[in-house]
Structure 1
Amino acid sequence: MNVMTVDGYHAKIEYDEELDLFRGEILGLNGGADFYGKSPKELRTEFKKSLQVFLDVCQEKGLAPRRNFSGKFNLRISPELHERLAIEAQAQGKSINTLAQEALQERVAS
């Protein structure tokens, strides 16, 4: 996945073949904001503009621009994987939660 970052905000970048433009969608917002550009430079400029418009609207309406995350989510896995995770966690002297956090952190670290 292609991600562009501006001022601590992240956007997923995809190519829209129909429009022959790159499309960015800003992630983690309390609403939707997207932008388009022909080149990386134009895309970054449009990202900044779209983000500023979104932030201005949030300020006018008294809304927090970023979604809040509780730090909790449910994950459904097969009983076999659950058993393997439990055994691995016990072998390492860790909880399944700790083992899962470490694996997820490693996955998104890049």
Structure 2
Amino acid sequence: MGLLKYKGYTGSVDYSEEDNCLYGKVLGMSKDAITYEGQDVNELRKDFEEAIDDYLRFCETKNKEPRVPYSGNLNIRITPEIHSRIAMMAMQAGTTINGFIRDTLANAVGITKPINI
């Protein structure tokens, strides 16, 4: 799957054999579906960018804060044993559980700079 990026939003690129066109949707927007399509990549990109601009204008006219694809908040469920081990490792590292998890995940996805939130 290809990806398009514009103004902090990321969109998918898919092909419909049945309709003989490219199409996609903005990723991470579970409550506000933003879709687009085109006959070629240039047309798809143009429709993607126009869809984002239309969404942002709509939000502005409704005095509504636009949704962002990923808020930075992530709730996970883990076993008590994992929770306990993470707490101990965080304490040994001299950080909080959130800081430990954030740094561990950043390292896992290849972000090596310290993250300040």
TM-score by length of 1: 0.69
**Do the aligned partners of residues 57 and 82 (structure 1) sit closer, same or farther apart at CA in structure 2, a change above 3 Å counting?**
same
C-alpha displacement of 1:97: 1.1
1:86 aligns to 2:72 (yes or no): no
Indicate the percent of aligned positions where both proteins have the same amino acid: 31
CA contact (8 A) 1:24 1:35 kept: yes
- Following the alignment from structure 1 to structure 2, what is the Cα–Cα distance between the partners of residues 16 and 89? 48
How big is the shift at 1:35? 0.5
Q: CA offsets, 1:41-64, max 9 Å, x none?
A: 222111112122222222222222
Aligned mates of 1:65, 1:58 — CA distance in 2: 6
Name the structure 1 match of 2:115. Answer: none
Deviations 1:7-61 (A, max 9, x none): 3322233344443433222245562211012433222111112122222222222
> Unaligned 5+ residue runs, structure 2?
112-117
Is the 1:35–1:46 Cα contact (8 Å) retained in structure 2?
yes
Say if 2:67 is the partner of 1:95. no
Length-normalised TM-score, structure 2: 0.66
Quickly say closer, same or farther: Cα 1:83–1:67, change in 2 above 3 A. Answer: same
**Does the CA contact (< 8 Å) of 1:28 and 1:66 recur in 2?**
no
Distance 1:75 1:41 in 2: 39
Structure whose residues are more often helix by fraction: 1
Amino acid at match of 2:40: S
Q: In the alignment, what sits opposite 1:37?
A: 38
Match of 1:14 in 2: 14
Which runs of structure 1 show a deviation greater than 6 angstroms over 4 or more consecutive aligned residues? none
The farther-off stretch of 12-21 and 65-74 is: 65-74
Q: CA RMSD in A?
A: 3.1
1:48 lines up with 2:49 in the alignment: yes
| Structure 1 gaps, min length 5 | none
Judge conservation of contact 1:23–1:34 (CA < 8 Å) in 2.
yes
